[in-house]
Amino acid sequence: MTDQEIMSVILDSFIGGSDTTSHFMCFIVYRIAKNSKVLNRLREELDSIYGQNRTRQVTPEDLIKLKYTEAIIKETARILPVSPIILRFNSEDDEIAGYKWPKNTAFTMHFAGIHHNKRYWKDPEEFNPDRFMFNEEIKNSLIIFGGGLRACPARRMSMIVLKCLIVLIFRKYDIELIDKDAPLDYSSTIINTCNKLYIKMNPRKD
């Protein structure tokens, strides 16, 4: 690889990796803080793994047990994916769905549309992590990290990072939204970004 290629891979990772994870985490905190039932279920899961020891390291075994935590991450991404679209160009003339597509046509894939389609999801507007506990998911109806050859190379690591962040925050702290009725304040461009999220954070009382 040339220096320039190495440089662009590093830059890609910084750009593709920092905003995505931080906005995703804001969306997760908002959904949990907004839904007391979800928060209680999450605490039950965390307490069953960590008990009163709220400072020990998260282990690989914990990551497997964190099923409800993973369901929250997936449901947050289903409702509002950080990356709602991806682009692809066809390298050859093609025919798809009865239409002819000349080489170099730009295809935009709209994940958010798939995530809210009633053909794939029951009550798609409802935030309900349980749908991932009971295998409601149909193949390719949830696309968080893109797909195919250019899928996000950090998809596994990102799930681990998000799980660890949820554990570190929610096993130890009470998080409250300052304005419980305010809708999530976000902007939508090629990625969905959280504009602001005001929260109160205190050590857990129980």
Does residue 190 touch ligand HEM according to CB under 6 A?
Answer: no
In this structure, the chain runs to a length of: 206
Does residue 85 touch ligand HEM according to CB under 6 A?
Answer: no
Does residue 156 touch ligand HEM according to CB under 6 A?
Answer: no
User: CB of 5: closest distance to ligand HEM in angstroms?
Assistant: 13
Does residue 17 touch ligand HEM according to CB under 6 A?
Answer: yes
Does residue 146 touch ligand HEM according to CB under 6 A?
Answer: yes
User: CB of 26: closest distance to ligand HEM in angstroms?
Assistant: 12
Nearer to ligand HEM, 51 or 113 (CB): 113
Binding span for ligand HEM by CB under 6 A among 34-42, 134-142, 149-157, 168-176? 149-157
Q: What is the distance between the alpha carbons of residues 179 and 58, in angstroms, rounded to a whole number?
A: 31
**Residues whose CB falls within 8 Å of the CB of residue 83, separated by 6 or more in sequence, listed in order:** 20, 111, 144, 145, 146, 190, 191, 192
- The candidate with the shortest Cα–Cα distance to 17, out of 137, 155, 186, is 155
Instruction: Tell which one of 24, 27, 30, 68 touches ligand HEM (CB under 6 A).
Output: 24
State which residue has the least CB distance to ligand HEM: 146
End-to-end distance of the chain based on CA atoms, in angstroms?
54
Does residue 112 touch ligand HEM according to CB under 6 A?
Answer: no
- The candidate with the shortest Cα–Cα distance to 68, out of 114, 101, 35, is 35
Q: What is the distance between the alpha carbons of residues 98 and 100, in angstroms, rounded to a whole number?
A: 7
Instruction: Tell which one of 6, 7, 11, 12 touches ligand HEM (CB under 6 A).
Output: 12
Q: Is 152 annotated as a binding residue?
A: yes
